[in-house]
Structure 1
Amino acid sequence: MHGESEERYSTLVNNAAAVRAICSAVEGTLGPKGLDTMLVGGQGDVIITNDGVTILEKMDVTHPAARLMIQVARSQQRQIGDGTTTATVLAGAMVQEGVAQVTRGVPVAKVVTGMLQGIELAVASLQGRSRQIVGLGDRALQRIAYTAGREQTDIAKLIIQAAEAVGEAKLREEGYRFADSVLAHEEASSEVWTGILLNQKPMNLHLEHDRRDARILVLHDALEPEAVSEESLVTEAGFQRYMQLRELFRSSLGSLLELGVGLIASDRGVDPEAEQFCSDHGILVLQRLSRRDLQLLSEHTGARPVRRTALRKSAPELSAALGHAGYAAYDERLERVRVARGHGEQHVTVIVGAATREAAHERSRIAKDAASAVQAAVRGGYLPGGGAAEMAVAHDLERVRETMKGMEGFGVAAVAGALRKPLSQIVVNAGYNPLEKVEELKAAQLAQDTDSLGIDCDTGLITDFVEAGIMDPTDVKIHALQAAGEVAAAVLRIHTVIKMKQPFEEN
Structure 2
Amino acid sequence: MNVKQAGSGSDVDERLTALVTNSNAVRAVTAAVEGTIGPKGLDTMLVDRAGGVIITNDGVTILDKMDVNHPAAKMLINIAKAQQEEVGDGTTTATLIAGALVAEGVNQVLRGVPVARIIEGIRFGVQYAVEQLAQRSLPIEKLEQPILHNIAMVAGREYEDIARLVVQAARLIGSPKLQDKHFRLSEIITAKVGADNEVFMGVVIDKERMNKEMPQAMDNARILIIDDALEPENIGDEALGTEAGFRRYLDLQNEFRANILKIVEQNINVVLVDRGVHADAEEILTDAGVLVVQRIAAKELRRAADHTGAKMIKRTGLKKEAGELVKYIGYAEKVYEDEKLEQLRVVGGQGKPMATILVGASTQEVAGERERIAKDAASSVQAAIIGGYVPGGGAIEVAVARAVEQARTRVKGMAVYGVDCVVNALKHPLAQIVENAGYNPLEKVEEVVAAQAGTSQNCLAVDCETGLIADMLSLGVVDPVPVKIHAVKAAGEVAIAILRIDTIIKKREDNAASKDQGPSDF
TM-score (norm 2): 0.91
Please give the alpha-carbon distance, in whole angstroms, between the structure 2 residues aligned to 1:403 and 1:106.
18
User: C-alpha displacement at 1:237, in angstroms?
Assistant: 7.0
Match in the other structure for 2:75: 68
Q: 1:356 to 1:109 in 2, by over 3 A?
A: same
Q: Verify: 1:398 aligned to 2:401, yes or no.
A: no
Match in the other structure for 2:389: 382
Q: Deviations over 1:211-256 (max 9, x none)?
A: 1111111123333455566677677777666666555554544443
Match in the other structure for 2:105: 98
| Structure 2: stretches of 5+ with no match in the other structure | 1-7, 517-522
Please give the alpha-carbon distance, in whole angstroms, between the structure 1 residues aligned to 2:243 and 2:409.
93
Please give the alpha-carbon distance, in whole angstroms, between the structure 2 residues aligned to 1:37 and 1:225.
50
Please give the alpha-carbon distance, in whole angstroms, between the structure 1 residues aligned to 2:80 and 2:506.
25
Match in the other structure for 2:285: 278
* Contact 2:152-2:163 at 8 Å conserved across structures: yes
Q: Verify: 1:155 aligned to 2:162, yes or no.
A: yes
Match in the other structure for 1:264: 271
Of 188, 196, 199 in structure 2, the residue corresponding to residue 181 of structure 1 is 188
Partner secondary structure for residue 9 of structure 1: helix
Q: Verify: 1:359 aligned to 2:366, yes or no.
A: yes
Counting matched residue pairs gives 507
Q: 1:435 to 1:314 in 2, by over 3 A?
A: same
Q: 1:342 to 1:306 in 2, by over 3 A?
A: same
* Contact 2:215-2:290 at 8 Å conserved across structures: no
Please give the alpha-carbon distance, in whole angstroms, between the structure 1 residues aligned to 2:215 and 2:110.
73
Of 18, 22, 25 in structure 2, the residue corresponding to residue 18 of structure 1 is 25
Q: Verify: 1:193 aligned to 2:191, yes or no.
A: no
* Contact 2:60-2:84 at 8 Å conserved across structures: yes
Q: 1:90 to 1:490 in 2, by over 3 A?
A: same
* Contact 2:215-2:289 at 8 Å conserved across structures: no
Q: How does 1:334-483 map to 2 (within 5 A)?
A: 334-483=341-490
Q: Which amino acid aligns with 2:27?
A: R
Of 136, 146, 151 in structure 1, the residue corresponding to residue 153 of structure 2 is 146
Partner secondary structure for residue 496 of structure 1: coil
Q: Verify: 1:311 aligned to 2:318, yes or no.
A: yes
Partner secondary structure for residue 407 of structure 1: helix
Please give the alpha-carbon distance, in whole angstroms, between the structure 2 residues aligned to 1:254 and 1:2.
83
Please give the alpha-carbon distance, in whole angstroms, between the structure 2 residues aligned to 1:8 and 1:245.
69
Q: Which amino acid aligns with 1:162?
A: A
Match in the other structure for 1:119: 126
Partner secondary structure for residue 338 of structure 1: strand
Q: 1:437 to 1:269 in 2, by over 3 A?
A: closer
Please give the alpha-carbon distance, in whole angstroms, between the structure 2 residues aligned to 1:234 and 1:403.
82
Moved more, 417-426 or 180-189: 180-189
Partner secondary structure for residue 439 of structure 2: coil
Q: 1:61 to 1:235 in 2, by over 3 A?
A: closer
Q: Deviations over 1:303-328 (max 9, x none)?
A: 11123343343433221211111111
Q: Which amino acid aligns with 2:425?
A: A
Q: Which amino acid aligns with 2:159?
A: Q
User: C-alpha displacement at 1:489, in angstroms?
Assistant: 0.6
Q: Which amino acid aligns with 2:122?
A: M
Partner secondary structure for residue 458 of structure 1: coil
Q: Verify: 1:42 aligned to 2:49, yes or no.
A: yes
Please give the alpha-carbon distance, in whole angstroms, between the structure 2 residues aligned to 1:433 and 1:236.
86
Q: Verify: 1:78 aligned to 2:95, yes or no.
A: no
Q: Verify: 1:33 aligned to 2:40, yes or no.
A: yes
TM-score (norm 1): 0.93
Moved more, 184-193 or 276-285: 184-193
